[in-house]
């Protein structure tokens, strides 16, 4: 088998895209609904049959069609109207097309010389997301630019953001930043409704045992938080939730922020599920109080 052409050659890429689209269509038709039939063993059997030898001595020109079809047939389809059980949303066609461009260019984001334009694009996007939470900074502030803080800001620095692998890592980064700022004695205080990544991150970072605050109606109780902070020696990092995993509930952020302020506690908001409301004129007010947080987790793959 000859060496496959590079992805940067459009003439070579186009027929492969047709193959993928045909296989997606065939696999969707074979699945016939939001989930594949037959359970784990049946799905595994069909996939193994389609893949064959994972590392063959000779490549198969039909491998792309066979594997994509089997993968599609054996996948959960978040775009199906009956698929409502999980958090990830159905991707838009334009997002899938943009993902193709990113795959073709394959920028390596660890240094500017490997991703010149992508580095600036990432800075522009993260700055815009930070502005959605904390307020506008002057236009034109890119990767190597500095700007004055937005009006009413308590920090001397403009809002900033970075891309991580997802909500779990973002929560861990928030705890890391708090630990580096407040010391290794920092104690995490979060609701019983909090995502498991928060107490796990506290353990990974060597922080004291987290304190869990009751969430009797699915959201953190501000009075119970006040009582906990009164009893506990500081410093504290309070982690509120904007969009719980099971029910999408939002903690009372303004009340929690007020409690944190009265105790001098740092506030983090895990808005991995709920931050998409920032882009809704109808529902944005449900995130009132988000800007009081020192750090915020936002997960775009749940935006839908």
What is the tens place of the pLDDT at every residue in 82-126?
887 777 888 899 999 999 999 999 999 999 999 999 999 999 999
Which ranges of 76-190 does DSSP label H, i.e. alpha helix?
93-105, 116-134, 167-182
Among 212, 222, 217, CA closest to 244: 217
Residue-range domains of the chain with CATH: 10-86 (no CATH), 114-158 (no CATH), 164-302 (3.40.640.10)
Is the model more confident about 137 or about 141?
137
Whether the CB-CB separation of 158 and 146 falls below 8 Å is answered with yes
For the CA atoms of 274, 275, 278, 280, what is the dihedral angle to 10 degrees?
-40
Per-residue pLDDT tens digits for 146-159: 233 433 444 557 88
Distance CA 268, CA 259 (A): 13
- Taking the CA atoms of residue 52, residue 56, residue 61 and residue 64 in that order, the dihedral angle to the nearest 10 degrees is 50
| pTM score | 0.88
Residue 246 reports pLDDT greater than 90 = no
Average pLDDT, the chain: 90
Please provide the distance, in angstroms rounded to a whole number, between the alpha carbons at the two ends of the chain: 43
pLDDT of residue 156: 59
Instruction: Tell me how far apart the alpha carbons of residues 257 and 276 are, in angstroms, rounded to a whole number.
Output: 20
What average pLDDT does the segment 275-281 reach? 93
- Give residue-wise pLDDT tens across range 254-268: 999 999 999 999 999
């Amino acid at each position: 088998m000859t060496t496959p052409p590079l992805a940067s050659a459009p003439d070579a890429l186009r027929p492969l895209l047709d193959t993928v689209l045909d296989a997606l269509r065939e696999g969707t038709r074979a699945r016939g609904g939001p989930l594949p039939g037959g359970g784990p063993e049946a799905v595994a059997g069909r996939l193994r049959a389609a893949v064959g030898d994972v590392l063959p001595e000779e490549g198969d020109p039909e491998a792309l069609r066979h594997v994509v079809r089997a993968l599609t047939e054996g996948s959960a389809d978040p775009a199906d109207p009956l698929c409502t059980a999980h958090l990830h949303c159905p991707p838009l066609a334009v997002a899938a097309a943009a993902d193709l461009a990113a795959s073709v260019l394959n920028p390596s984001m660890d240094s500017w010389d490997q991703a010149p334009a992508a580095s600036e694009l990432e800075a522009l996007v993260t700055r815009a997301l930070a502005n959605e939470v904390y307020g506008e900074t002057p236009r034109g502030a890119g990767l190597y630019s500095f700007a004055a803080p937005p009006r009413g800001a308590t920090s001397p620095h403009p809002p900033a953001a970075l891309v991580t692998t997802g909500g779990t890592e973002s929560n861990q980064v928030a705890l890391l930043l708090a630990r580096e700022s407040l010391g290794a004695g920092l104690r995490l205080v979060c609701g019983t409704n909090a995502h498991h990544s928060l107490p796990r991150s506290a353990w990974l970072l060597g922080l004291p045992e987290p304190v869990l605050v009751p969430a009797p109606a699915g959201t953190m109780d501000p009075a119970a938080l006040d009582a906990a902070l009164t009893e506990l020696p500081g410093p504290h990092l309070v982690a509120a939730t904007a969009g719980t995993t099971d029910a999408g509930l939002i903690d009372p952020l303004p009340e929690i922020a007020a409690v944190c302020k009265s105790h001098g506690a740092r506030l983090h908001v895990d808005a991995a599920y709920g931050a998409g409301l920032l882009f809704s004129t109808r529902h944005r007010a449900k995130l009132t109080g988000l800007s009081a947080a020192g750090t915020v987790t936002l997960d775009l793959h749940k935006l839908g």
